[in-house]
Structure 1
Amino acid sequence: MAPTFYHHSPVPMADPWKELEPGGRKLPWLLGILLLLLAVGLTGPLIFFAVKANREACADVLQAERASRNSTHQLQRQLTWAWEDLQAAETRALTCNQTAVGLENSLALERAGGQQLQAQLEELRGEVADLTQKLQEASAEVERLRREQWAPGASAGNSGSPGPGPWMAATLLLLLLGLPALWT
């Protein structure tokens, strides 16, 4: 076997626990390292739980945002429908107003025409009364002439006369036929 050479550094023979005492130099370093390890060890789970909590919160926020967006779109559609209904109602109201104005104008014209027709009717009634009076006078004249012609003891020269004449009969006939037309 071959000889082995081991070289070790000299180890001091001092007590290692003395340096760990509160006045020693290694205690603060050791506490610092322990605190650093503790901090690093707790940082991982802290990050894990923070990410998990934020993921759930983000999911809740996204769900709330979607619900809000859906509600907003629905309200916008309803507002659009209401706006279209309002415009249609305004159009119908405008049409109704124009129709009402037209009907009022027509009614005013009809009233004026009615008053004019009433005046014409009164005038025609007056003319009918005059014509009725003339017809009565003409009938009385015809009756008088008939009596004179057919009276007993009339002269022989009168017996050959043709009577009231065809023009008088035609006039009477036209007057009798024209009376109903005047009343309508």
Structure 2
Amino acid sequence: MASDRAYQAVVIGVSAGGMAALERVLPRLAADFSLPVLIVQHVGPVSDSYLPIHFSMRCALPVYEAEDKQPIEAGAIYFAPPNYHLMVERTHTLALSTDDRVNFSRPAVDVLFDTAADAYGPGLVGVILTGSNSDGAAGMARIKRRGGLLVVQTPESAEAPQMPLAVLERVEVDHQLPLSEIGHFLNSLSNE
């Protein structure tokens, strides 16, 4: 199913329909899931920190709102906070930024994916779920150039298919999976 390389981290980008999509992926990650999971869900700039609280009650793994200079731990889930770009430093720590919006978004999927691709190279798994714009397509292309693995939700299983379609138009992905299979697939990568 996957290659023989050892994966080090998973990045997930999601927008419109994201809450329901993440409900079908994150709670399915096993308690012994060994990879950190970094997530950009497009939210408004004055949103509260509902996502980490919501998913911490539904997931076997610890769930955090990302903090600046926080070390990335194996088997933990990190959400980008509202109105901050989430980035990965080469030392595998998190960084937050209030730089300009990218693709009309802050946090932006491309910002996370670009920096994570540079930090993890072929050890990175990029995942794009439902969303109504093209944020994440450039970041997925960068992950591919760095040798990482690309997973895209099948557009027909997405509430908003534009983000998956934008990726499929731009780069050859490794796996197109219906939403119901993505959590199981990620578990298989962690177990390798």
TM, length-normalised to structure 1: 0.15
RCO comparison, higher one (Cα < 8 Å, 6+):
2
Q: Which has the higher helix share?
A: 1
Task: Please say which structure displays the higher CA radius of gyration.
Answer: 1
